[in-house]
Chain A
Amino acid sequence: MIPLHASIHRKMLVVMLATAAFALLLTAAAMLYYDLRSFRQLWVTDLTAQADIIGFAATPAIEFEDRQAAADYLESLKGKPSIIAAAIYSANGSRFAAYTATGGKAVEFPALPALDGYSVKGNELDLFKRIVSGQEILGTVYIKAQFDMFGRLLKYLGIVGAVMALSLLASLLIARRMQQKVTQPILEIAGVARTVMDKRDFSSRASKTTEDEIGVLVDAFNGMLAEIEHVIDERKRTQSALEDSESRLLELNAELEQRVEARTAQLAAANKDLEGFSYSVSHDLRAPIRAIGGFAVLLGEDHQTELGEEAKRKISIIRSEAARMGQLIDDLLAFSRLGRKALEPSDLDMAEMANNVYVRLDHADPSRTVDFRPGSMPHAWGDRALFEQVWMNLLSNAIKFSAKKKQPVIEIGGISAENEHVYFVRDNGAGFDSRYQAKLFGVFQRLHREEEFPGTGVGLALVHRIVTRHGGRVWADGKPDEGATFHFSLPKEASDGGV
């Protein structure tokens, strides 16, 4: 009935008019109902009175037998269109005068008058009324009338319609004027609310003009606006403070990064210097030590006859120590070279590689009988030469440290964990004290005496360096005389982007 988006102005108008119209309709309906109900009775009363008047007026006409006069009286009924016929009967029951409405159909008059009263047939009413003068009954007036219920209803509805139209118009005018008092403050609030929404201006306020519920609404609205304004101010302040600290943080971060970069560069430079230094030192040391070894050989061979046994023993010590030093320097060079060389990664069948390396090592000393137990291993992605070195070092270590056992056992294998492949080499050899685990992978760090197990102490350091360069880890566990297990892991996805 009322569109949802209609303004409160129109809604109130519609409500008022609907109320007025409803009340009017109800009143009209009640009146109509009552009127139609009482209409007949009223009508009968009216007709009876009419009959009485005619009877009274016509009394002398009857008494003095003046039919013309009686007919004249009846003729006066012309003014009542609902009366279609009338008659006056004399006291003896004969028709004395009669009247038929002009244009009406022919009416059949009753032969004899009936008693006082009326009878209804369809929408026609027959009414009889005696003419009494003093105590004498002089005659009877007969009236035949027609209900015009429909006509009356129509007339009534017409009046109701006109009254309703007029009163609705009046209510419209009154409502227009009066509702302004109610709607004006609401419209004002709405206007302010719209401004607030459109312009995001929370500083505007609605003006309070009434002390009713709308006044309370205005107060609440203004209070809310103030609260929102306050909250927004607070938020702005917090935000600006946050932005300040953030920018400061960013500055600090940038500064820090710069510093880290600078330090890293310094470190890299220092590292490079160090590597270059160690390389050149190693390289330069090789020549004199070869010379020492060579000349010791020449001394032993060329002056064999002149030298005593003790001198020969000492010369051989010089030779072996020079050789050891040469080996040391070679290892050091290899280690140092590792840092300078670029990786050339490819797919590696680790099981095959480990087996080949073991076979090569085993052939070097056929007298030994080692129980070699190779397991399955996942493929890896890495530098072939470097991993051959890794296997070489780990397997030769295992052979070396298990050599003194009656039945040496060497076990190798690998598994795939979630993000990495893990490989191991296990032996039942000398083992080590786990307290020194940290020392295992350092350069020149040794846990055993040279006489017990020969070596330069570079092997495991090399393994550590190669594995970490590939993004993996190295660790070991073991117990003295119960063997050791060396593990290394490689990421499934190579750190340099290969698989």
Chain B
Amino acid sequence: MRNAFLSALLGACCIAWSGIQVGQAQTAETVPVTERSIKAAYLCKFAGYVEWPDARIHAAKPLTIGVLESSEMADELIRITAGRLINDRPVQVRRVTGGDSLAGLHVLFVGAHEPERLDELLLPARKLPILTVTESAGALSDGSIINFTIDRERVRFEVSLPAAERSRLKLSSRLLAVAQRVQRTPES
């Protein structure tokens, strides 16, 4: 039941733009609904609730999503964002490896890692206006802005406002309303 729902949601997410009727939840693309695919869809959607600094200047440029050392996620993202606009901008997916320059990225997804490694990976993004998204428990304390969690078999996420502030990103309150947890003060 839950799987069916997720599948429908994902499917609708990806195909609604092409003008197919709502409600006629077609599952033509028989992609198995996985945690990965849900996270990929969420990743696309986060961009709709985030305001980057100098957004107007960069409005014409494609929204760039960097994927650090997670080729699965990169593949999935490329698949679902093909020819798709987010915030009226085309989407570009860039595979990134540790030590690469992060300049020009809007979103950076970092796969599951040990906290020490994560901290290290996120460090370069800290001073940049990059929405960092992780999927490791306690990643917020490592400087991540949004961190995926699993709550009773459901993919959810938690948000760190201090981290967002540090990166000069503004997160929509509507996004915060559906977050599992919002961290509002810097963790000691």
A residues in contact (CB < 8 Å) with B: 57, 59-61, 63-66, 69, 89-94, 112-113, 130, 133-140
Q: Which residues of A contact B71 (CB under 8 A)?
A: none
* CB of B178, distance to nearest CB on chain A (Å): 4
B residues in contact (CB < 8 Å) with A: 5-6, 8-9, 11-13, 16-17, 22-25, 42, 45, 48-49, 85-88, 154-157, 172, 174-175, 177-178
Contact A136 B13 (CB under 8 A): yes
11 new A-B contacts at CB < 8 Å, known A57-B174, A66-B177, A134-B17? A60-B178, A63-B178, A65-B155, A90-B8, A91-B23, A92-B8, A93-B24, A113-B22, A135-B85, A138-B12, A140-B22
Contact B174 A137 (CB under 8 A): no
Q: Which residue of A lies closest to B45 (CB)?
A: A63
Which of A61, A92, A94 contacts B11, CB < 8 Å?
A: A92
Q: Which residues of A contact B11 (CB under 8 A)?
A: 92
Contact A137 B16 (CB under 8 A): yes
* CB of A55, distance to nearest CB on chain B (Å): 12
* CB of A177, distance to nearest CB on chain B (Å): 59
With contact pairs A134-B88, A135-B17 given, residues A65 and B22 touching in the complex (Cβ less than 8 Å): no
Q: Which residue of A lies closest to B179 (CB)?
A: A64
With contact pairs A64-B156, A91-B9, A94-B8 given, residues A137 and B85 touching in the complex (Cβ less than 8 Å): no
- State the main secondary structure of chain A at its contact with B: mixed
Q: Which residue of A lies closest to B86 (CB)?
A: A134
A221 CA / B156 CA spacing, docked (Å): 99
Pick the most buried of B16, B42, B49, B85: most chain A CB atoms within 10 A of its CB.
Answer: B16
Contact A64 B45 (CB under 8 A): yes
With contact pairs A64-B156, A134-B48 given, residues A91 and B17 touching in the complex (Cβ less than 8 Å): no
Q: Which residue of B lies closest to A92 (CB)?
A: B25
Q: Which residues of B contact A66 (CB under 8 A)?
A: 156, 177-178
Which of B22, B24, B85, B157 contacts A64, CB < 8 Å?
A: B157
Which of A64, A94, A133 contacts B42, CB < 8 Å?
A: A64
With contact pairs A64-B156, A94-B5 given, residues A89 and B23 touching in the complex (Cβ less than 8 Å): yes
Contact B177 A92 (CB under 8 A): no
Contact A59 B13 (CB under 8 A): no
Contact A60 B174 (CB under 8 A): yes
* A-B residue pairs in contact (CB < 8 Å), sample of 24: A57-B174, A60-B177, A60-B178, A63-B42, A63-B45, A64-B175, A69-B178, A89-B23, A91-B9, A91-B12, A91-B22, A92-B5, A93-B22, A93-B23, A93-B24, A94-B5, A94-B8, A94-B25, A113-B22, A134-B86, A135-B17, A135-B85, A137-B12, A138-B16
Q: Which residue of B lies closest to A111 (CB)?
A: B23
Q: Which residues of A contact B5 (CB under 8 A)?
A: 65, 90, 92, 94
Which of B22, B25, B48 contacts A133, CB < 8 Å?
A: B48
Contact B23 A112 (CB under 8 A): yes
Q: Which residue of A lies closest to B25 (CB)?
A: A92
A90 CA / B166 CA spacing, docked (Å): 35
Q: Which residues of A contact B157 (CB under 8 A)?
A: 64
Q: Which residues of B contact A135 (CB under 8 A)?
A: 16-17, 85
* CB of B145, distance to nearest CB on chain A (Å): 15
* CB of A471, distance to nearest CB on chain B (Å): 140
* CB of B154, distance to nearest CB on chain A (Å): 7
* CB of A134, distance to nearest CB on chain B (Å): 7
Contact A93 B17 (CB under 8 A): no
Q: Which residues of B contact A65 (CB under 8 A)?
A: 5-6, 9, 154-155
Q: Which residues of A contact B45 (CB under 8 A)?
A: 63-64
